[in-house]
Chain A
């Protein structure tokens, strides 16, 4: 067992974990943050993307012990004071989700994308999120959702 201290969604946790435990299992099983999903075992699907120190990470590719001392943001911590993040709003308003299983990972990956590129083209959105699989939406409305959020975060009117 190893002892780690991790800040998750602004709250500090100290836990004893097996050294082999993946970050995604730590979040889901130890902290009961089940909004971060597992869709594959090979880091293809991106359903488990969270932000670690501000950078998007597939939490199935990282050990919990590697997150010792880190600041983790999951989908549960994205809305502030009950106010949805523009990405959450965009996915809802633009019908960028159906079954919702890929949605948390997709939103967290898009969060990082917009951090790096606040004004992406549709093609840049598609390229930036190619590590996240969705089986329901055909991706079409996810592009719209990200552009909705991007416009809102730039302080512009959201696309109709």
Chain B
């Protein structure tokens, strides 16, 4: 990474993580590390069936077991009258279980072992019912319907009015079939487009359910205050305010009675938005004692919200001169038992990466008896990208074109329509392709026997949401930045750099204070690659306002005009008069003492960016395929990404390394396998293959800095784009090596071996 040209003193240069010291010494506190006086340990009993009626629950033996304080079912909780119509609201199952792994009973013990032992003593009688597992069958018009009377609507709502409105729309949406939602995008006339095509490729792509695989399983500790009727939740979450809102809604509490304290988070990747917190809070309120729940890995696989499986039927036409004439897609999303909607983003990307006048995309959101789907880093993008980038590669191949030049010819540019026909905001797809074109890994590419090189592009719109921050200067010169955002990836280290840059003080002099829902200025959840894009602007504005106040105090002190002052190295001085100088700490002290002065040095800053800044990537994968076993091994990986401006290149590169390897997981390794009864066959790291150390190569991160017009210092979101392209790049490399086009992920050795063998016959 070359950043010698950075016009900044601290930004644009690699800095280590501010919380790194705690993490390398074992002092960082994750939610599961927390022990409170009187705290109970919860263990759950999960449904072994994908669909069954609960006939009876006999908890007598469990209640009598030593060390057990309570054994609770849905009827025992304050949520007993609430509709179960989402994963968040499914605290414990009522009457029916709807997926294998649904929590049914919670056992609370003085120790984890006592609760665990007693959980085994809970006797639940089920009447198994036929599950609907296959998404194609579920989408058939004559399929048995999971919610024949529509999704349950909210019952009597005890919630204060302000807490009730948030999810009203979702809860009233009925589902007369298993297709709970549809999205249709069209432009031009695809029939005419295909008629004009010299080449049409039509294929069906499948991507599996994939788990976020954060190393820290879900963990939450809830501490009730029975006198105030309030609750404090210490949890592993990406979005404290959204957890607060959802707990308040489900437990019918005013928001100010719920305080959520975000602990150090051991990875989230889209999954940690309060899946277990409503349950833990309800348990704690019921027994009037603090409760801790830490899921086991198997419980986490079974009961949380993996990314949805998908089927993409894709038909693309092109003329001999390389112009795309039509893109048509039908997308089935397998969302599990409660609604989740990614089809729109899948369609937006399928029809948005390339210029094409005729597009028709139909997306269907389908319910099955599986866990409700959820977000996983750039949700929907790996699926869309795998499909469109596999087909684009084959069109280039069939037309005898260089696959990179072919992409450049058709690549969408700023203002071109996305799949949903909205124009792309300022973006740099062509820039990343050009950078890859000039990279030695592509320009000087050479492959040995059974080796292949593949490329793919990918992109993500990236999110934005308004955010606030407060900046204070202490009398010793320490600058404190208060935020309500959650640091899932090192973003807070970059926020420190922003303040350091603006106040021209060493980053070590800046402290970042992460507030909870009571004390933190509002920030949106740390998802959608929006935290730097949103919060860094708020921090910058707060620091700028503090700078103005410091100059004002100094101007008063030195009887000079503020325009004649400069702030350098944490010292404000009158230009040309080195003896008229005071460090910012002393200025803060003056401000704190002076009656009738400006008051202590503190300022707030907000940011509400008006347009998102998409992040595009171009990835290159080189593979070796063992012709005997079909095992594909990665030999080289290059990840080019438009990052706008890298506030901290070390953390940006880290995002690219990690996201790329998760993309490699999509491509080669990861799959949640459900059998025909809806039983999860891959509920541990023994069976679910997270990419391991020796299964992936070095990742060469190449940063393209194409400043965004609205982001702080030109930054774009960087977290999500790197996961988008890996599976497609690998599939294209495998095709280059073997001539075999694999249309289903992951491309494990058996799948590839069968594909290679069926071609030989």
Give A residues with C-beta under 8 Å from B: 18, 20-21, 25, 28-29, 32-42, 44-45, 47, 74-76, 78-79, 84, 88, 91-93, 95, 97-104, 107, 122, 126-127, 129-130, 132-143
Contacts and interface: CB of A to CB of B under 8 A. Distances in A.
B168 interface: no
A121 to B, nearest CB: 12
Interface string B137-180: 00000000000000000000000000000000000000000000
Interface stretch (B77-85, B225-233, B364-372, B689-697): B689-697
Residue among A78, A97, A102, A130 with most chain B CB within 10 A: A97
Counting chain A CB atoms within 10 Å of each CB, which of B23, B217, B296 scores highest?
A: B23
Nearest to B27: A35
Interface of B: 14, 16-17, 19-30, 32-33, 35, 112-113, 213-217, 264-267, 269, 294, 296-298, 488-490, 650-651, 653-654, 657-662, 684-686, 690, 692-696, 698-699
A133 B662 contact: no
A102 B488 CA distance: 14
A73 B215 CA distance: 22
B24 A91 contact: yes
B25 A101 contact: no
Given A99-B267, A135-B215, A75 B26 contact: yes
Contacts of A25: 112
Contacts of A104: 24, 26
Given A21-B113, A37-B266, A41-B298, 6 more contacts: A33-B26, A36-B26, A75-B25, A95-B17, A98-B490, A100-B20
Given A34-B33, A138-B661, A143 B297 contact: no
B693 A137 contact: no
A139 B693 contact: yes
A103 B657 contact: no
Contacts of A76: 25-27
A37 B462 CA distance: 32
Contacts of A99: 214-216, 264-267, 488-489
Contacts, number: 171
A31 B672 CA distance: 37
A98 B489 contact: yes
* Main DSSP-derived SS at the A contact region: loop
A137 B21 contact: no
Contacts of A137: 654, 657-658
Nearest to A85: B24
A78 B699 CA distance: 30
A98 B654 contact: yes
Given A42-B686, A133-B692, A134-B215, A103 B24 contact: yes
Contacts of B33: 28, 34
A41, A75, A88 interface centre (most CB from chain B within 10 Å): A41
A47 B32 CA distance: 14
A99 B22 CA distance: 11
Contacts of A91: 20, 24
B24 A84 contact: yes
Contact of A88 (B25, B265, B694, B699): B25
Contacts of A79: 25
Contact of A44 (B14, B19, B25, B686): B686
Contacts of A45: 215, 297, 685
B20 A92 contact: yes
Given A34-B29, A76-B26, A95-B654, A140 B686 contact: no
B718 to A, nearest CB: 13
17 contacts: A41-B684, A45-B685, A99-B265, A100-B22, A100-B24, A102-B215, A104-B26, A129-B693, A132-B693, A133-B215, A133-B685, A134-B215, A136-B215, A137-B658, A139-B657, A139-B696, A141-B653
Given A42-B685, A127-B694, A135-B690, A95 B16 contact: yes
A101 B24 CA distance: 10
A78 B661 CA distance: 29
B489 A136 contact: yes
B715 to A, nearest CB: 18
Given A75-B25, A95-B651, A132-B693, A101 B216 contact: yes
Nearest to B113: A18
Nearest to B487: A99
A101 B30 contact: yes
A39 to B, nearest CB: 4
A20 B490 CA distance: 39
Contact of B662 (A35, A92, A135): A135
Contacts of B23: 97, 100, 103
Closest 5 CB pairs of A and B: A35-B26, A100-B23, A101-B266, A138-B661, A44-B685
Contact of B26 (A74, A97, A136, A139): A74
Given A39-B215, A95-B650, A101-B266, A140 B693 contact: no
Contact of B216 (A39, A44, A132): A39
